[in-house]
Structure 1
Amino acid sequence: MTMSEASGPDAVIAGYRRLRSLAAEMLALANEADWDALIERQQGYLEQMDRLKALDAACELPAGHAAIKAELLEAILADDLVIRRQLMARRDELGLLIDRSRRQRDLQRTYGRQGTSPGDGFGQGSP
């Protein structure tokens, strides 16, 4: 493969197809609530975006390739939107869990001390 083939319009479209594939994989992971794998996959997605940005900037696409790029971008952005919504829902869920845990900890600290206080009069056998 020559340098021009590695950086030409076909390489740009191949890069967008790879990005589209990664976005679809990330969406599947989000749908499965596999957050750890999603975060790991995101690294490859970001690396592909960086490579593609440089490749795309170095090449002017003919009309046919530009139309394919637009379709791929539309699909990538649609997946990205769904992933972001699911991540925001997960963030909100985790926030609720953290708040609940914090309240339980605060209650335990407050009422746990009262129940163990030696001079509280409970269970002392007083008349």
Structure 2
Amino acid sequence: MSASEMARIETQQRLLDTYHELLERSAQMQILASTEQWAELIEQRTHYVMLVDKLRELDESVALDEAGRTRKAELIERILEHDVDIRRRLVARRDELGKLIGVSRKQRDLHRAYAPQQGLDSPQDDTPS
């Protein structure tokens, strides 16, 4: 086997290893989303984006053989499955937070409307009368 062929195989393997690493990262992110560990999920997302950037560079410079293309497609499919689940959970969380914000605003508005009638000072109104 020639040196150039060995280099091509090593480069191809590095690309596939990086896709596998991205798959592992996305699986970890899915676990974090399913256990509602939102801060940790955001931290992992930073590393995920860095891996995606690395893959973008590698993908441009590596030509895969048929087996490599098949393996890459399998890895991408699994990554996307995790991504769909993570996004679904994030949308549910966003909706939940939106409802909580709505309830909080209603409570604040009710307090502002009824506190003066009860002779209570509004916490936002600290100016002397």
Q: TM-score, normalised by structure 1?
A: 0.86
* Residue 5 of structure 1: how far off its partner (Å): 6.5
* Identity across the alignment (%): 40
Which consecutive unaligned segments of at least 5 residues does structure 1 have? 118-127
Measure the CA separation in 2 of the matches of 1:13 and 1:74: 13
Residues of 1 paired with 2:85 and 2:30: CA distance? 7
1:73 is the counterpart of 2:111: no
Q: What displacement does 1:114 show?
A: 1.0
CA-based RMSD of the aligned residues comes to 1.5
Q: Secondary structure at the match of 2:115?
A: helix
* Structure 2 residue 105 is the aligned partner of structure 1 residue 98: no
Counterpart residue type for residue 64 of structure 2: L
Aligned to 1:55: 58
In the alignment of these two chains, the number of paired residues is 114
Largest Rg, 1 or 2 = 1
Whole-angstrom CA distance in 2 between matches of 1:87 and 1:8: 35
SS state at 1:61 partner: coil
Query: Is the 8 Å Cα contact of residues 26 and 41 (structure 1) preserved in structure 2?
Result: yes
Q: What is the identity, as a one-letter code, of the residue corresponding to 2:108?
A: R
Q: How does 1:1-127 map to 2 (within 5 A)?
A: 4=7, 8-116=11-119
Give the distance between the partners of 1:113 and 1:58, measured in 2 at CA. Answer: 69
Structure 2 runs not aligned, ≥5 long: 1-6, 121-129
Q: In 2 relative to 1, CA 40–5 (structure 1 residues): closer, same or farther, beyond 3 Å?
A: farther
